[in-house]
Structure 1
């Protein structure tokens, strides 16, 4: 059990160790948020160490220049100390291969974890899920160093694996995974997640109320500005249609991206529309094959981070498909920048889900898997420019209200200090990281 520590009162800098499978230089999804929290802490006087995998996401290929069978140390832009660990990266991540992928990270991270625990003596060790399989190593390192422990749930990876068919819930591996998840969730001093419905799911998994904290994802509003007029990137990519519907991000099975070609078949008559798919991942080849007879769907690589505003501002609206059953297990990280771009979001989710609650009022929702409804709603928005403008303004306001990076990370840092002082407070002393 972690003990109360207050190094700040003794004039010593607080020390945080972050364990995250995904980290910079990955440019999208969880890696962006793990990097952002580490850099913010370091910039604000916290000694911050990171243990991460070698970058591979979203293409599921280890990046060029990183294909070395050993550990790599790197200094981040704000002074963070990162160690990137060698891992197994499957080119086609099935359920069993994903498990091996996560196990390989847990094993290669373990010696670094124990070394950091003994040498650097962190005050808090924070694990980002995925990957829960690294939790035993984190808990062992915390016991060695006397650190408090924090689990931040970006995805409910076990349930997401069931929902996407990667694991069979009734199989032996499925049952063991559920038991392992339950044990892990009950072992950390803090367990945070990124939305109200995901916090409710933690409660249903028997996580004690005093352990639960909300820690939302965020957007660097200063780096994502609404584009007035026509984005210059549109011409650079050779898009000459008046309208663009954009999906940008990871191309994986949990997104339910198969609906996009189905939707496009209902819109063949819209010669004024390009459906732009910008990203990489295991579903890219599948989608390209499904869209062979659909010239309105065009595929582009991920764009550099300094072109993010131009990319998002190229869209008349953003497409955000998600499969049924996953809308309360994950909250797509790409949503933050979609909203910040000042464009409406068209999502496949029910209104009472985490995604549905975030999109309501600044976009449109259709039932998951209903390609015809998605096509109808897209066409309605394309033909109603004033409504797109209204929803886009609401989206930008939502981003400023709920997703501002500075306020969210400032509260996160404050909560880090609180858990160092008292890892196990009374329930009534709990603080949320709400914006």
Structure 2
């Protein structure tokens, strides 16, 4: 797993009050995000790359974040769970705050986890009011950081932007992490009161923006900001991939790959069931790569399967190569969270020019996207999921066409340069106001 600060050689100071450097006329942005680089998956990856793009476009950025801990739910090697400051590149200051990290995040423990970060971030956010930012940007989760962000914006005259990666309140009740009806009503009421106060609300899918409207956000405040991927040169065939040698795959063996977080929202059990159904085929290997709170339970479901290989989370510089080793990408998703989250791993899958099999309800945004470049089946339908895998494996020409369409979709909708250009335009306009 990656260690150290983003960018490698950064200055680190153990303090919670050091001010950002470089007094200049560049627009100043405070980014408050629970997850940040060097986390390799999920929100941390995108928050890190977003700050990189802001710095490249001449913004000064102060990042208020936690010590890196996701998806393994433990503080990364090389970091300590206390206040520290990093300056990984000119114009970027990263203020890391301590927090409670549960080994097995459940309902109450996850709430304490969020609350601990919000409380430890308060003194840092308070000190940053003297920096006079133009925009305060906050990422959900955790929505608990919304009030400190709104307060800093109010005190400094800054605009406040909420970026929703995950509707944590809705997801917590859908997943059964919190069950009390009165608590649901209270949480949703607080969420709506907070979200309406932001100047801009962005999210990663159109359906998630629709949900923001139902929560009372004016349409004029909404911005579509999808998770992106760096679409580079198209990779060669899977047979030429180094991972095939490392996995000791026989010639002609097909790889069905799942790579990403292994948690509760993914519905990973269908992968184990599909692997069991297709164990009769010696030409198919399932490769499951990643970490998360659900990995040990997932490994137990796959125990004894001869066609399954587990890999740890891979280094960032090898992710594109890993995705290109697949013949078919697997994207399980629970039915009850289909339109509450948009899997961030989808962009990389499509950019790899490989077909995708997903579980998504018909009519959902995920189903609409994947149906153009693979197969979407109803969540929980294990036999349909396994049959979809076989169809793509046994019809390579069709699978190749799906992969090409997926890559074209990624270029048009998820390419990092395109997404960041649109984002910087929106942010510059907001700063000018």
TM-score (norm 2): 0.92
Higher mean Cα deviation, 204-213 or 337-346? 204-213
- Mark the runs of 5 or more structure 1 residues left unpaired by the alignment: 1-10, 423-435
Aligned to 2:413: 402
- 2:104 is the counterpart of 1:95: no
How far apart are the structure 2 equivalents of 1:374 and 1:79? 48
Shift of 1:245: 0.3
Match of 2:235 among 217, 226, 251: 226
Shift of 1:229: 4.4
> What's the secondary structure of 2:96's corresponding residue?
strand
How far apart are the structure 2 equivalents of 1:126 and 1:225? 34
Shift of 1:55: 0.3
Match of 2:77 among 55, 59, 64: 64
Work out whether residues 99 and 113 of structure 2, in 8 Å CA contact, stay in contact via their aligned partners in 1: yes
Work out whether residues 279 and 306 of structure 2, in 8 Å CA contact, stay in contact via their aligned partners in 1: no
Aligned pair count? Answer: 408
How far apart are the structure 2 equivalents of 1:167 and 1:226? 44
Label 1:335 to 1:229 Cα distance change in 2 as closer, same or farther (>3 A).
closer
Aligned to 1:425: none
- 2:89 is the counterpart of 1:80: no
Label 1:338 to 1:229 Cα distance change in 2 as closer, same or farther (>3 A).
closer
Aligned to 1:433: none
Q: Which has the higher contact order (CA 8 A, sep 6+)?
A: 1
Label 1:123 to 1:134 Cα distance change in 2 as closer, same or farther (>3 A).
same
Work out whether residues 170 and 340 of structure 2, in 8 Å CA contact, stay in contact via their aligned partners in 1: yes
Shift of 1:357: 2.3
Shift of 1:196: 1.1
- 2:30 is the counterpart of 1:17: yes
Shift of 1:355: 1.3
Aligned to 2:371: 360
Match of 1:26 among 39, 42, 48: 39
Aligned to 2:126: 114
Aligned to 2:319: 308
Measured on the aligned residues, the alpha-carbon RMSD in Å equals: 1.4
Shift of 1:234: 1.7
How far apart are the structure 2 equivalents of 1:75 and 1:250? 28
Aligned to 1:431: none
Cα distance per residue 1:300-324 (max 9 Å; x no partner): 1011111122201111010000001
Cα distance per residue 1:90-125 (max 9 Å; x no partner): 11000111100000010011111111122x110000
Match of 1:157 among 151, 168, 191: 168
How far apart are the structure 2 equivalents of 1:27 and 1:239? 26
TM-score (norm 1): 0.91
Higher mean Cα deviation, 275-284 or 205-214? 205-214
